[in-house]
Amino acid sequence: MELHPLKVFLAVANEKSFSRAAEKMLRTQPAISLAVQRLESEFGEKLIDRSAKELLLTDSGRIVLEYARRFENLERELETSLRELRDNSAGRLTIGANESTSLYLLKHIQNYRRIYPKVKVQLRRSLSSRIPSELVDGDLELGMLSFDPGDDRLVATVIYTDHLAFVLSPKHRFASRESVSIAELGMETFIAHNVSSPYRDAVLREFQRNKVPLNMDVEMPTIEMIRRMVQRDEGVAFLPRMCVEQEVEQGTLREVRVEELTVERRIRLVYPARRALSHAAKAFLELVQREG
């Protein structure tokens, strides 16, 4: 069933006249009459009592009128919902990120929520290795990665450049130093993240190239646990600078430069290349690119 004949019938019922309905809908009166006849033919019921002097609805006509009004209200709700989505005053946004990139997103989500308070934002923690496939499959709209996924089906935009920071406790013997050589780290106990990453591999290669042992005697599942152990002087660690920025500024951790080791981390916002982004996702992408 097409909605147009229902709209015509609703206009006729509201105006109680075929001619006034025709004027309102900018149609000819014969076109209005034909639309109502088609509706009656489709339902197999007479909707209007044409024997009366005034326009009267039959019992079937009153039922159809009730549903026609419901359709009209639903159409208004649909238009309102779509308008709200375009204006980012409603909708949903799902972003995938690992532990470290989630921390980077916090300030952007906070700013985004101030501008678009009615958009529901879900930050879903996920392994970086899984985020590309989750984006392609449509489980996520946006993803945060610290490496290039190398997939033609995805667009990856660098939004922030971070680096691996060598951090230690203020009580550590190197705490007063500005820099150390990699050779001096052979006797240190490193608190490592037990999730493999390109940056962990880069550190391993550099230690091997310099023939310096890397003693990863302790592995932890989260950056937060690593950070706490380092603060207690249980060992040292390489962590994303953005994950320890506050602690370094407050003096609860010290960052010391390793002379032979500089590892940059380029944070990328990733999204599907061939699927249109929602209005909420486009607005978030623009905000992050603007704020950096």
Write down the H helix ranges in 16-122: 18-24, 29-43, 59-86, 99-115
Quote the domain boundaries for residue 57: 3-86
Residue type, 36: V
Whether residues 41 and 65 fall in one domain: yes
Beta strands 254-255; 189-193: pairing state: unpaired
pTM here is 0.64
Tell me, what's the pLDDT at 204? Answer: 93
Q: Is the pLDDT of residue 89 over 70?
A: no
Output the pLDDT for position 279. 82
Which residue, of 31, 63, 86, is where some domain finishes?
A: 86
Res 269 pLDDT > 80: yes
Q: How many domains does the chain have?
A: 3
Co-location of 124 and 168 in the same domain: no
State whether 186 and 258 are in the same domain: yes
Q: List the one residue out of 139, 137, 114, 104 whose CA is nearest residue 124.
A: 139
34 — pLDDT class (breaks 50, 70, 90): very high
Lowest-pLDDT choice from 114-118, 184-188, 249-253: 114-118
Residues 79 and 129 in one domain: no
**What is the pLDDT, as a whole number, of residue 88?**
62
pLDDT of residue 73: 75
**By C-alpha distance, which of 291, 280, 266 is closest to 95?**
280
Let me know whether 199 and 102 are in one domain: no
What's the rounded mean pLDDT across residues 182-195? 93
pLDDT at 260: 92
Task: Write down which residue in 36, 53, 86 finishes a domain.
Answer: 86
